[in-house]
């Protein structure tokens, strides 16, 4: 085995011009947790990469997995607009594409910083200065060629807003231009949802939706949300509903979405779910929280609180889907702790009533179901009265 081949086997990147790019550089400079590292390779061909053991995985442009670390390495490339949407590009990847040309196609200056393996940074568009200034700024006018960048910029603001970041005025103007040009309509629902779901996991998801509303994108992509978020007060209220959720709920993005849409009518929630092709879990939690909201609105003004609670348990299918109840009570506690305590006590008592006991008493057929419902209601009333 030659000395050169031995070196390559030990380190497949040996002799390549390799740079860490994008989020890994940005987040390291911010002191933010770095989750994934992407690399760009300058001056190499696809054949060069394969000979070094890299495995090709890119469908739209040359991307390879490192044979040992499995990190992604992409050949430096340029892009030329050829159609509508975020996929309407002709990609050119070859050894003559420079690092600066590759960085020029990126969306924001803070994402257009590269760093060599020995730590030397390449920053042709002032990304480091914008990081210090806490500014999200577009790299070039080609920003408007990709409508997905509207959502990505809003998502980055949802991530970094608490660090003091804002969107540059001229970048917001380009986002507004994209929103009014018709380009957003070419985004497929799945891609819109991918960005939205990521935003729901960011520290301030309300900022994402507010930003989309401000640049006009929300009216195009999620018009059902516009009446709720069009005012600053509405945005603050929605953001608070999404933010103050206990970690015990599990998938926080699902519950944040439910808290956002719980105020909509059933028709609006359904239309929005269809447009975005929502996963069933998101649809279901939205419906369950809407039912819960109905219970909490003016419940203590009703003549029979126990009856309202029993109706809620029936509507959420609590008797067959008991796993739904405790998480919904946890959310209810945030808004109406007194009611949540009553619901919890009533539920614990009513759910302990089993059909078998009534069968032993001689009930059967349709009368068994009616008797079970009556008995559950009776013990629920008694339990609630015991803490009133």
User: DSSP labels for 17-59?
Assistant: EEEEETHHHHHHHHTPPP---EEEEES--HHHHHHTT-EE--S
pLDDT at 58: 73
State whether CATH 3.40.250.10 applies to domain 1-124: no
pLDDT of residue 8: 62
pLDDT for 289-338, tens place per residue? 999 999 998 776 777 899 999 999 999 999 999 999 999 999 999 989 99
Can you tell me which residue has the tokens 């890299």?
A: 54
The residues of the chain scoring below 50 in pLDDT are 1, 82, 85
What angle is formed at CA 142 by the lines to CA 214 and CA 275, rounded to 5 degrees? 45
| Domain-wise residue ranges, the chain | 1-124, 298-387
Cα 104 from Cα 140, distance rounded (Å): 7
Max CA pair span of the chain? 89
Task: Please tell me the distance from the alpha carbon of residue 364 to that of residue 361, in angstroms, as a whole number.
Answer: 9
Distances (CA, A) of 54 to 5, 46, 63, 72: 14, 9, 9, 9
pTM given for the model? 0.89
Closest to 346 measured CA to CA, from 312, 297, 296, 300: 312
pLDDT of residue 82: 47
Reading the block at residue 255, the tokens are 């519950």
User: For residue range 272-292, what is the model confidence (pLDDT) as tens digits?
Assistant: 999 999 999 999 999 999 999
């Amino acid at each position: 085995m030659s000395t050169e081949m031995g070196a390559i086997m030990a380190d497949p990147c040996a002799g390549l011009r390799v740079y860490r790019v994008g989020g890994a550089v940005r987040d390291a400079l911010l002191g933010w947790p770095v989750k994934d590292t992407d690399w760009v390779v300058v001056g190499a061909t696809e054949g060069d990469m394969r000979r070094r053991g890299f495995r090709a995985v890119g469908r739209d442009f040359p991307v390879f997995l490192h044979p040992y670390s499995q990190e992604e390495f992409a050949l430096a490339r340029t892009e030329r607009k050829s159609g509508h949407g975020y996929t309407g590009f002709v990609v050119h990847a070859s050894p003559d594409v420079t690092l600066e040309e590759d960085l020029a196609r990126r969306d924001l200056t803070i994402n257009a910083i590269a760093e060599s393996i020995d730590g030397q940074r390449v920053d042709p568009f002032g990304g480091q200065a914008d990081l210090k200034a806490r500014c999200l700024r577009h790299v070039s006018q080609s920003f408007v060629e990709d409508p997905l960048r509207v959502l990505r910029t809003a998502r980055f603001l949802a991530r970094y807003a608490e660090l003091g970041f804002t969107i540059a005025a001229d970048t917001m103007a380009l986002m507004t231009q994209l929103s009014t040009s018709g380009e957003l309509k070419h985004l497929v629902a799945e891609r819109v949802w991918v960005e939205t779901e990521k935003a729901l996991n960011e520290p301030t998801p309300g900022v994402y939706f507010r930003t989309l509303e401000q640049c006009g994108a929300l009216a195009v992509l999620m018009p059902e949300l516009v009446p709720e978020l069009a005012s600053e007060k509405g945005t603050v209220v929605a953001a608070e509903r999404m933010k103050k959720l206990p970690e015990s709920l599990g998938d926080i993005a699902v519950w944040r979405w439910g808290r956002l849409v719980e105020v909509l009518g059933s028709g609006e929630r359904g239309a929005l779910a269809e447009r975005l092709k929502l996963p069933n879990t998101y649809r279901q939690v939205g419906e369950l929280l809407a039912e819960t909201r109905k219970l909490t609105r003016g419940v203590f003004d009703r003549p029979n609180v126990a009856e309202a609670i029993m109706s809620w348990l029936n509507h959420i299918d609590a008797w067959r889907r008991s796993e739904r109840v405790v998480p919904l009570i946890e959310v209810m506690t945030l808004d109406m702790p007194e009611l949540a305590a009553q619901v919890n006590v009533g539920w614990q008592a009513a759910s302990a009533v089993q059909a078998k006991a009534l069968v032993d008493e001689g009930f059967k057929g349709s009368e068994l179901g009616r008797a079970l419902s009556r008995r559950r209601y009776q013990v629920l009333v008694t339990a609630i009265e015991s803490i009133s």
